[in-house]
Structures are given as C-alpha cells and as structure tokens.
C-alpha cells in the first residue's frame, strides 16, 4: 500500500503536468482538440485521485473503471516511450507499477466479484445436453432457422469470399496436429462443429465490418485528442520498434477489453456464448458472439489507430491475433514449458475456460501471460490441465439461436 501511494502520487504529478503543458499550448494556438484533451486529462487526474482514496479506504480489488483508466494510461505511456523515452519509460514504470500493486492486493485479499459464473448449483442428476431431432418430422421453425443461417453465410462469403479458403487451410494445419498431439481424444466432427463453421464464416465478415466501423468512429474521435506531430513521430519510428510497441499496446488493451466482458454483467451475456464451449479445439476459437468479438478486438486495435501506428502494422497485428487465438484454443498437449510465462499456450488458455472454481477469473491475456501476472490474474499449474470446460448454463443449439441468446 505504501508503494501504491508513492506510485499514485507520481502518476498524479505527471497528469497535472500534462494538463499544464496542454493548457499552455491551447491558449497559444486556440486548438479545440487541445481543449478537449485538457478536459480528458483533468478527468483522468480526478479519477486517479479517487482510486487512490478508495485504496486508503480499504479497497483491495480494482474495479472495471480503474482497470480501464490505468490501462489507458499505460497504453499512452508505451506510445510516448517510442517517441520520448526520457518521459515515456518512467511513465510506463509508474503505470505498470500501479497495476502490479493492485494485482498483488487482489491476490492477498478476497476473490474478484465478477459475473463470469452463475450462482446456481448444477444437479449431479442433470443429464448432459444432446442434439435431438424434432419428433414427427421437420418443423417450420427449423426450416426458417436453416434458411436464415444459410442467408447469413452467403452474405458473409460475399463480404469476405476468401473466408472459406482460409478455413480449409486452417483445417489442413490443425486437424492433423490435433490428431498427433491430442490433449483429449475427440472425433474430428465433434458435436456442434457445423454451428462453429457458421460462427467462423459469419463472424469473420462481421468482425471486419465492425472493426472498420469502430476504427472509423471511436478511433477517429480518439485520434482528435492526439497531436498530429506525435502521430507523425510514431510513424517515423523504426519498423521493429513500432511492432514491439504495437504488441504491448494490443496486449494491454485486449486484456482490459476481455476482462471487462467478464466483469460487467451486460457484457458477460454476450461473452458467455464463447464460454459455453465444452469441447476445446481450434474451431472453438470462432465460437463467439460477433458483438463480443468486435468489442474485444476493438479494445486492442483502436488505440493503435488513434496513436498513429501505420495501417500495415495494424493489419499484421490483426492477423497475428487471429492465429494466436486459434492456437491457444486448440486441442493440443503443448505447454512450451521454457516459454510458457512469456507466450500464451493452449494450457494457459484452457485454464481460462476451465469449469473449476480455482481457475475462475484468470488468464485473460491472449498473447502474453506476463500481462496476467502484472494484473494479478495468472493461474498456470505446472503439470495439470482442466478436467472440464464451459459454464453451468446450457446454450441453445444453432447459430441464430446463439445469436439472440444474450437478448433473452
């Protein structure tokens, strides 16, 4: 707590200094963007002070608002460090230190109170859900669902015609790997595979449209707060430095977005579609509600656009995130032990999906377990894997039903 108090003091001094610098420049140039940025910095300083007060009042778990604020400060500090290391590096250390301090307190204090597991108990006598056909033939509702699903797939393929080719390539790579290094013995065409193929095709097109919209709206609005000279300096950095900074920013932003989907009940309603998967494999990575997918990916990508990182780097990061996401869901008995604390592995992410209380609220990062270690949410037993996956709620069968499930 003493260390956190010192770090908060340093953070407040930095934010007040930034307000002073921006305010002076605004009065000289009468820049509206600078005026808005000054208001944002004042609000950030006020929120930082409030979270410091909560710490003194006995709080031991950082709320979603505090996590979002500190993540935004850390992301900004990383970008500044690529342009002005003498200012940015100390800012990164302070912001990361605040997050690490709260993470330490959460491990020492009570468990996180979040919405990612229902409170009702599951009866041992409850039979597992199975796919059943409609008695007495095909129902009109079933025909309508098939037609709507087919229409969605056709529209998705018209938007991104290469999705089917990519799916075939991924299947060619991961199906043999999962047969050779299988964690759980499983049929290739396991239960629900057709629905997950639809998730892959439709959600892939929806993610593209949604990300473009998020960047155009949120990214452009945030970009107005970033001076053009700063964005130009970021683009002028060496390529390797841009890639390293972009990976760090997407790791922090993706973590914050993912954890918010668990901690905010209304967001969890959409994210539980993904956690309803009970058989983990490479195709399960696509089993997500499109709004959930767009929200998490936007939290990782929009800051890059706002801070001035180039389009080529943005595209490469999106491709890398997609491949990594498929890998960590795969049914592979791979631990990569020497690198398991540095690079996310199937073992690391499988614990995030575990239906075991000791693993709840853990492993939100998609790329680097060190981010979870920083936030105090890392759970990675050395030689154990989850026995079960999923949540207590039974999801409906079929893509369209799962699409509207969060709204029910």
pLDDT > 60? residue 307:
yes
Among 84, 107, 130, where does a domain finish? 107
pLDDT > 90? residue 284:
yes
Q: Which of 367, 371, 168, 378 is nearest to 283 (CA)?
A: 168
Look at residue 84 and tell me if it is in a domain.
Answer: yes
Mean per-residue pLDDT for 4-30?
81
Q: How far is the first Cα of the chain from the last one, in angstroms, to the nearest whole number? A: 43
Record the tokens describing residue 314, joined without a space: 């943005």
Q: Which of 24-28, 202-206, 255-259 has the lowest mean pLDDT?
A: 24-28
**The most confident of 115-129, 210-224, 252-266, by mean pLDDT:** 252-266
State residue 44's pLDDT score.
92
Distance CA(339)–CA(381), nearest Å, equals 14
Mean per-residue pLDDT for 236-245?
87
- 224 with 348, same domain? yes
State residue 312's pLDDT score.
58
Look at residue 168 and tell me if it is in a domain.
Answer: no
State residue 176's pLDDT score.
92
| Residue range 68-99, pLDDT digits in tens | 999 999 999 999 999 999 999 999 999 999 99
| Cβ atoms of 211 and 298 closer than 8 Å | yes
Distance CA(67)–CA(84), nearest Å, equals 25
| Residue range 221-235, pLDDT digits in tens | 888 888 888 888 998
Number of domains in the chain: 2
Look at residue 145 and tell me if it is in a domain.
Answer: no
| Cβ atoms of 348 and 367 closer than 8 Å | no
Bridge partners, 354 (sequence order): 389
Distance CA(318)–CA(332), nearest Å, equals 23
pLDDT > 60? residue 267:
yes
State residue 128's pLDDT score.
43
Q: Supply the DSSP symbol for 337.
A: G
State residue 140's pLDDT score.
64
| Residue range 331-373, pLDDT digits in tens | 998 777 777 778 899 999 999 999 988 888 899 998 899 999 9
- 190 with 94, same domain? no
* DSSP character string of 193-251: HHHHHHHHHHHHHHHHHHHHHHIIIIIHHHHTTS-HHHHHHHHTS-HHHHHHHHHHHHH
Provide the pLDDT confidence category of residue 274 given band limits of 50, 70 and 90.
very high
Among 107, 140, 173, where does a domain finish? 107
State residue 387's pLDDT score.
87
State residue 31's pLDDT score.
56
pTM of the full predicted structure?
0.86
Look at residue 144 and tell me if it is in a domain.
Answer: no
Distance CA(67)–CA(55), nearest Å, equals 14
If you count them, how many residues does the chain have? Answer: 408
Q: Is 267 helix (H, G, I), strand (E, B) or coil?
A: helix
Mean per-residue pLDDT for 381-400?
88
**The most confident of 184-198, 201-215, 221-235, 256-270, by mean pLDDT:** 256-270
- 303 with 195, same domain? yes
Torsions phi, psi for 37 (to 5 deg): -60, -40
- 193 with 102, same domain? no
Look at residue 167 and tell me if it is in a domain.
Answer: no
State residue 27's pLDDT score.
47
- 382 with 276, same domain? yes
- 390 with 261, same domain? yes
pLDDT > 50? residue 216:
yes
Look at residue 124 and tell me if it is in a domain.
Answer: no
- 56 with 205, same domain? no
- 101 with 190, same domain? no
196 is in which domain, residue-wise? 182-407
Q: Which of 293, 281, 125 is nearest to 192 (CA)?
A: 281
Q: Which of 4-18, 143-157, 186-200, 216-230 has the lowest mean pLDDT?
A: 143-157
Tell me the pLDDT of the chain averaged across its residues: 84
| Cβ atoms of 180 and 147 closer than 8 Å | no
Percent share of the chain, pLDDT over 90: 42
- 190 with 78, same domain? no
Interhelix angle 64-83/290-307, rounded to 10 degrees, is 40
State residue 321's pLDDT score.
81
Among 56, 79, 107, where does a domain finish? 107
| Residue range 109-144, pLDDT digits in tens | 544 434 444 444 343 333 343 333 344 455 666 677
Distance CA(231)–CA(78), nearest Å, equals 13
Mean per-residue pLDDT for 259-288?
93
Look at residue 328 and tell me if it is in a domain.
Answer: yes
- 201 with 349, same domain? yes
- 103 with 195, same domain? no
- 213 with 352, same domain? yes
Q: Which of 24-28, 193-197, 302-306, 323-327 has the lowest mean pLDDT?
A: 24-28
């Amino acid at each position: 707590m003493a260390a956190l108090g010192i770090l908060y003091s340093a953070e407040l001094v930095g934010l007040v200094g930034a307000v002073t610098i921006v305010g002076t420049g605004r009065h000289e140039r009468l820049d509206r963007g600078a005026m808005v940025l000054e208001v944002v910095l004042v609000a950030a300083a006020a929120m930082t002070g409030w979270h410091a007060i909560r710490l003194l009042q006995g709080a031991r778990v950082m709320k979603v608002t505090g996590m979002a604020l500190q993540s935004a400060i850390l992301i900004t500090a990383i970008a500044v460090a690529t342009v002005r290391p003498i200012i940015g590096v100390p800012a990164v250390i302070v912001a990361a230190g605040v997050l690490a301090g709260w993470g330490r307190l959460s491990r020492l204090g009570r468990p996180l109170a979040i919405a990612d597991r229902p409170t009702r108990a599951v009866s041992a006598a409850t039979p597992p859900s199975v796919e059943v056909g409609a008695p007495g033939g095909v129902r009109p509702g079933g025909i309508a669902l098939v037609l709507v699903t087919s229409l969605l797939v056709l529209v998705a393929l018209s938007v991104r015609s290469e999705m089917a080719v990519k799916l075939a390539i991924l299947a060619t790579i991961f199906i043999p790997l999962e047969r050779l290094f299988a964690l759980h013995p499983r049929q290739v065409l396991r239960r629900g595979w057709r629905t997950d193929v639809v998730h892959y095709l439709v959600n892939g097109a929806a993610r593209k449209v949604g990300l473009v919209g998020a960047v155009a709206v949120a990214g452009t609005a945030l970009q107005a707060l970033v001076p053009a000279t700063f964005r130009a300096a970021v683009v002028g950095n060496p390529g390797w430095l841009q890639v390293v900074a972009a990976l760090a920013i997407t790791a922090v932003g993706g973590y914050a977005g993912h954890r918010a989907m668990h901690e905010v009940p209304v967001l969890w309603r959409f994210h539980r579609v993904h956690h309803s998967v009970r058989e983990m494999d490479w195709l399960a990575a696509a089993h997500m509600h499109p709004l959930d997918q767009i929200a998490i990916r936007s939290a990782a990508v929009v800051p890059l656009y706002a801070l001035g990182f180039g389009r080529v780097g943005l595209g490469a990061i999106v491709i890398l995130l997609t491949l990594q996401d498929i890998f960590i869901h795969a049914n592979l008995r791979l631990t990569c032990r020497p690198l398991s604390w540095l690079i996310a592995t199937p073992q690391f992410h499988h614990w995030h999906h575990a239906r075991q209380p000791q693993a709840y609220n853990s492993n939100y990062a998609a790329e680097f377990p060190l981010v979870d270690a920083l936030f105090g949410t890392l759970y990675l037993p050395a030689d154990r894997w989850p026995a079960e996956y999923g949540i207590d709620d039974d999801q409906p069968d079929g893509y369209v039903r799962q699409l509207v499930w969060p709204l029910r």
